[in-house]
Amino acid sequence: MYKPKDSSQSPRFVGTRTFMRLEQIRTTEGIDFAVLGCPFDTAASNRTGQRFGPQHIRNFSVLLRPYNPDMEIDIFEYCSGVDYGDINVIPGNALRTYDNMVEELTPLLEKNVIPIIMGGDHSISLGNLRAFHKKFGKIALVHFDSHGDTWEHYYGEKYMHGTPFRRAVEEGLLDVEHSIQVGMRGPLYSPDDIEDARKLGFEVIPMKEVRKIGFEQVMKRIHDRVKDRPVFVTYDIDFVDPAYAPGTGTPEVGGPTSYEALEYVRGLDGLDVVGFDLVEVLPSYDANEITAVLASSVIYEMITLTALKKRRQLKKESKD
């Protein structure tokens, strides 16, 4: 019902910038997914400006096309989606912002629409998970990042971009026995920065281990961990090496290439993915917009997973 404008008929520089040139409309009818911005960066600890991430991603996403050759699917042959606009955030107040997120995501989830949220700093994932918990109860988490974000506090504050997944466990939002973190690396304050996540119940695959065991084994462990549980995928752009994604607040060297960054999303096909977020894009440090190129492509692969899931459902229904 809803699909992008055809850029072979209408130039990409024409019209208001939306993700992938999708219609910007707030509807829950006739759609399978909705792309939303959450321009909140008050909880960032170093560089700020992630509030401008959603529009930065939208600006470059106009280059995307509907057929994904790597996954061999025309996305909009199987699903419909819109750019839902931005969540009404409250600068300086994470808790009120979370309340707004729950309020605005709930109508989508009630209609079984898959939300794809663009941050914003990583603290927004707690608001996302609160909304998903209302629909699904405890939910599995696949977390791609260079940091575990399970600190007890940052500067004495409990709601920062380094704390959302500890809060999510404490609030009973996560099916932690089926949750996994991938890509952690870089200097730490102590071994507890990673071990705390394991004590909370997460399986953790640091980047050193990712390189040792290889992509296929990482994906096998993700699938074995999540199994058939509904899963939310959170993707911090600093998961990727800063050579490929410099536009972020806390970059860490030694990460995946841009090709590998896409492959990790593609490899999630077959899981019961019910929502995504991509966070921590910081335009002011994005040399030549290469982070925007990658971030828009990662979201494109997330949308592709939605189309693949819908195609499987349609094939099953036709057999039945």
pLDDT digits (tens, 9 = 90+) for 202-235: 999 999 999 999 999 999 999 999 999 999 999 9
Residue 81: its pLDDT value, please?
A: 97
Residue 320: its pLDDT value, please?
A: 74
Sorted by sequence, the CB contacts under 8 Å of residue 187 that are 6+ apart come out as none
Kindly report whether the global pTM for this prediction surpasses the value 0.85: yes
Give Cα 250 distance to the centre of its chain: 17
Residue 264: its pLDDT value, please?
A: 98
Closest CA to 274 of 146, 168, 166, 137: 137
d(CA 54, CA 24): 14
Residue 270: its pLDDT value, please?
A: 97
d(CA 54, CA 62): 13
Residue 86: its pLDDT value, please?
A: 97
Give Cα 206 distance to the centre of its chain: 19
pLDDT less than 50: residues of the chain: none
Residue 267: its pLDDT value, please?
A: 98
